[in-house]
Chains A and B, each alone.
Chain A
Amino acid sequence: MTAVLDTEGLTKRYGRRSALSDCTLSIPSGHVVGLVGPNGAGKTTLLHLAVGLLQPTSGTIEVLGSRPAESPAQLGRVGFVAQETPTYEALSVADHLNFGAWLNPSFDAEMAGRRIDELGLDLRQKAGHLSGGQRAQLALTLAIAKRPELLILDEPVAGLDPLARRAFLQYLMESVAEHELSVILSSHLVADLERVCDYLVVLVASHVQVVGEVEGLLASHYRLSGPRRDPSSLPSSQEVIESSHTERQSTMLVRIESPILDPAWTVEEVSLEDLVLAYMGRASDAGRVQRRSGRAFR
């Protein structure tokens, strides 16, 4: 099966600042992919490269086996909901449905109309007068009604209150189940994605830190605690992601390939949030070292 997203050394630079550095990824289809990272990590850059709103400085990117935005057909296979879900303020909800229908040959107008009905949106309402949650739902409806194979959402729930957030994600998951979509959605909060994602990409400071199925990641990361010990003395099959030490005790979050045999350790499972935070912490420590040595620009 072709990958939904396949990148090779993908890099985007603005002047001397790197927004995305040497990103190599291959995400299989049929997943709901969470793209997590702090603000400014390059999430939006990666997603914009994937929908063809940006061109890479170097490296290659393929989405569903083709160059992003290379043809109307390719554009039709990818749905996109941009950050802050932009809509045409002066145009009504009905105009937006027409917009979707006129610009997408595969647009399912009946489904979109039904969805707008369910949401209780007034067709004559100007999009500029919708609440953030309503606007997000409208944008999502447009993106899903064009019947894409892959749906890409950039921070879709960032501006929404908890209730709107739940409704949005619920509709998203219903659509995924109904239309067998692959989804990539980004957020700076793991908690937003924990319930919906089965695949994770962590992006920090323009570099990809970790990629994989959530289940596999949780099965290969553990928190070890035991007598104080130098992290570098661990076996090579155990990669230390995060460590903290008190006078007598060490706690480490490690990635392992084989079972832990050392009886000195107490082994605990980690949550997805802990895992992501550990990778983010490691990356920003590395960033700080780089900054101090004056090599990193940002």
Chain B
Amino acid sequence: MIRFAWRQFRVQAAVAVGALLVIAVVLAITGPYLVSVYDASVATCRANRGSSATCMNGVANTYHFLQGALDALVLVVPALIGIFWGAPLVAREFEAGTFRLAWTQSVTRSRWLATKFGVIGLSSMAIAGLLSLMITWWNSPVDSVNANRFSPATFALRGLVPIGYAAFALAFGVTAGLLIRRTLPAMVATLVGFVFVRIGTTYWVRPHLFAPMHEASAITSSSVVGYGSTGTIFFGSGPSTVQLAAPNIPNAWIYSTQIVDGAGHVAGPQLVSSICPFLGHGGPGGRGGGAGHTEAPASAVQGLQECGARLGTKFHELLTYQPASRYWAFQWSELAIFLAVALIVFCYCVWRVRRRPA
């Protein structure tokens, strides 16, 4: 059965391996130059004693298009595996009627499905893993400069997690094909389902994998750097309040910086504006527009400093974050979760095909 599963999968596997080779060649040609740009930038920064924040910009600007394209590739490959390898695996057999041929040979349906699943699943994981390995290696100078490895746009596209996504997407696709029995709708369902699960994991699961760490620090006149509101496109923006300086911890995942009193109560926007009533009224403080960075007028800067000093008498700053050292723990945990879910879904499919054939 393995031989036949492999025979049916041969062409797709060859296409995938061919694509991987092409990418490997591109990365092998461009990678060393990216490293040399990085080394030169580090040298420039050292020469300038880090006085210029833009000394590393060269790295981000090198192969800018390729950086984006490669990230997009790692992003979509698991989805493509689910859509083009997973969804048709059973649905095509239903549509063409060939399940009547396949399931009446001397191999039980459950073994037939388990074998095909196994062959394609392991191949998918290998392909996603190799792709991620190559791109993680190629991007290491870029990621090192950005120092933000927990960012959703980086974390999910490097290291181990793409392997888990590929396995899960395949299992999801097979299940959709098995339940919907038609290839095209199953493909659409796979895409929608996979996108939903990935977004859901990023925003609702990953932040809760490990309890974040807390760190308290004093608020000084230099702590407050702005006034305004923040939010995400999902939840809208909250009321305006003071914004504290971003803590400078490379590669850490900052959940929040809060203004907290001695008893641990968070000072809300209303309390803050009662302490600093002069903020947010008139003046172009922080209103730089999107076009560029303009220096805030001296009066506004003074106001922020004044506010920081006032807040510092009663409050301190509480930082909630995941330290950079937990990066691999997060990677392994998310990989384990996706592989476990893929395995459960796989078992369901095998059980289902045994119990309810057609």
Cross-chain contact A48 with B358 (CB below 8 angstroms):
yes
Say yes or no: B103 contacts A98, CB within 8 Å: no
- Is B274 engaged at the interface, CB distance under 8 Å to the other chain? no
Q: Which residues of B contact A83 (CB under 8 A)?
A: 97, 100
**Which residues from chain B contact A71 at a C-beta distance below 8 Å?**
108
Contact residues in B for A119 (Cβ distance below 8 Å): none
In contact, A103 and B98 (Cβ under 8 angstroms): no
Report if B4 contacts A (CB, 8 A).
Answer: yes
Whether B4 lies near A55 (C-beta < 8 A) is no
* Interface bracket on B: 20 to 34
Query: Distance (Å) between the CB of B346 and the closest chain A CB?
Result: 21
Q: Which of B69-106 contact A (CB under 8 A)?
A: 96-106
Residues of B105-120 at the interface with A, using a CB-CB cut-off of 8 Å, are 105-109, 111
> Which chain B residues numbered 321 to 358 have a C-beta less than 8 Å away from chain A?
355-358
Cβ–Cβ contact B3 & A106, under 8 A? no
Flag A65-108 by CB within 8 Å of B: 1 or 0 each: 00001011101101110111011110100010011101111100
Residue of A nearest to B5 (CB): A102
Interface size on A, residues (CB 8 A): 35
Q: How far is the CB of A32 from chain B (nearest CB, A)?
A: 19
A80 CA to B103 CA, complexed, in Å: 10
A69/B8 in contact, CB under 8 A: no
Kindly state the separation between the CA atoms of A87 and B102 in the bound complex, as whole angstroms. 9
Kindly list chain A residues whose C-beta atoms are within 8 Å of the C-beta of B355.
55
Which of A52, A71, A88 has the most C-beta atoms of chain B within 10 angstroms of its own C-beta?
Answer: A88
Is B49 located at the chain interface by the 8 A CB criterion? no
Assess the A69–B109 pair: CB atoms within 8 A. yes
A43 proximal to B (CB < 8 A): no
Q: Which of A51, A52, A69, A99 is within 8 Å of B4, CB to CB?
A: A99
- Expressed in whole angstroms, the Cα–Cα distance for A84 and B96 within the complex equals 10
B188 contacts which chain A residues (CB < 8 A)? none
> Which residues of chain A are near B104, meaning CB under 8 Å?
51-53, 69, 75, 78-80, 82
Residue of B nearest to A106 (CB): B106
Any A CB within 8 A of the CB of B281: no
Does B103 contact A69, Cβ atoms closer than 8 Å? yes
Judge if B1 is at the interface, Cβ distance under 8 Å: yes
Cβ-based interface call for B7 (8 A): yes
A88 to B4 CA separation, bound complex (whole angstroms): 12
Q: Pick the residue among B8, B100, B107 that contacts A91 (CB under 8 A).
A: B8
Chain B residue numbers with a CB within 8 Å of A100 are 105
Contact B357 A82 (CB under 8 A): no
A53 to B8 CA separation, bound complex (whole angstroms): 22
What are the residues of chain A within 8 A of B100 when measuring CB–CB? Answer: 48, 53, 80, 82-83, 86
Which chain B residues border A95 with CB–CB below 8 Å? 7
**Does the CB pair A72–B106 fall under 8 Å?**
yes
Task: Give the distance in Å from the alpha carbon of A29 to the alpha carbon of B356 in the complex.
Answer: 29
A193 to chain B: closest CB distance in Å?
Answer: 21
In the complex, which of the residues A72, A79, A86 contacts B97, with contact meaning CB atoms closer than 8 Å?
A86
Known contacts A102-B3, A103-B1, A104-B106, A84 near B97 by CB under 8 Å? yes
- Does A55 contact B96, Cβ atoms closer than 8 Å? no
A146 is an interface residue with CB less than 8 A from chain B: yes
Chain A residues with Cβ below 8 Å from B99 are 53
A53 and B358 in contact (CB under 8 A), knowing A80-B100, A88-B98, A102-B4?
A: yes
Closest chain A residue to B103, Cβ basis? A53
Q: A75 CA to B103 CA in the complex, in Å?
A: 9
Question: Is there a chain B Cβ closer than 8 Å to A54's Cβ?
Answer: yes
Q: How far is the CA of A78 from the CA of B105 in the complex (A)?
A: 9
Docked Cα-Cα span, A82 to B104, in Å, equals: 9
Q: How far is the CA of A80 from the CA of B357 in the complex (A)?
A: 16
In the bound complex, CA of A83 to CA of B106 (Å): 19
Q: When chains A and B are docked, how far (Å) is the Cα of A143 from the Cα of B119?
A: 26
Q: Which residues of A contact B102 (CB under 8 A)?
A: 103
Q: How far is the CA of A105 from the CA of B39 in the complex (A)?
A: 62
Give bound CA distance, A230 to B8, whole Å.
66
Contact with A along B1-18 (1 / 0, CB 8 A): 101100110000000000
Interface hub of B97, B98, B101 (most chain A Cβ within 10 A):
B101
Name the distance in Å between B5's Cβ and chain A's nearest Cβ: 9
The closest CB in chain B to the CB of A152 belongs to B104
- A55–B357 CB distance below 8 A: yes
Q: How many Å from the CB of B230 to the closest CB on chain A?
A: 54
Among B100, B108, B357, the one with the most A-chain Cβ atoms within 10 Å of its Cβ is B100
Q: Which of A75, A79, A86, A87 contacts B107 (CB 8 A)?
A: A75
Taking CB atoms, residues of chain A closer than 8 Å to B106 are 72-73, 75-76, 103-106, 146
A139 at the interface (CB under 8 A from B): yes
Contact of A104 among B96, B97, B105 (CB under 8 A): B105
Among residues of B, the one whose C-beta sits closest to the C-beta of A142 is B101
**Do A72 and B108 form a contact, CB below 8 Å, given A52-B357, A80-B100?**
yes
Report the minimal beta-carbon distance from A97 to chain B, rounded to whole angstroms.
12
Can you show 24 pairs from A to B with CB atoms below 8 A apart?
A53-B99, A55-B356, A55-B357, A69-B109, A73-B106, A75-B104, A75-B108, A78-B104, A82-B97, A83-B100, A86-B97, A86-B101, A91-B7, A98-B3, A98-B4, A99-B105, A100-B105, A102-B3, A103-B1, A103-B4, A103-B106, A104-B106, A146-B105, A146-B106
Q: Which 5 A-B pairs have the closest CB atoms?
A: A82-B100, A76-B106, A103-B105, A86-B97, A80-B104
Known: A53-B357, A88-B98. 5 other contacts (CB 8 A): A48-B100, A53-B99, A54-B357, A69-B109, A142-B101
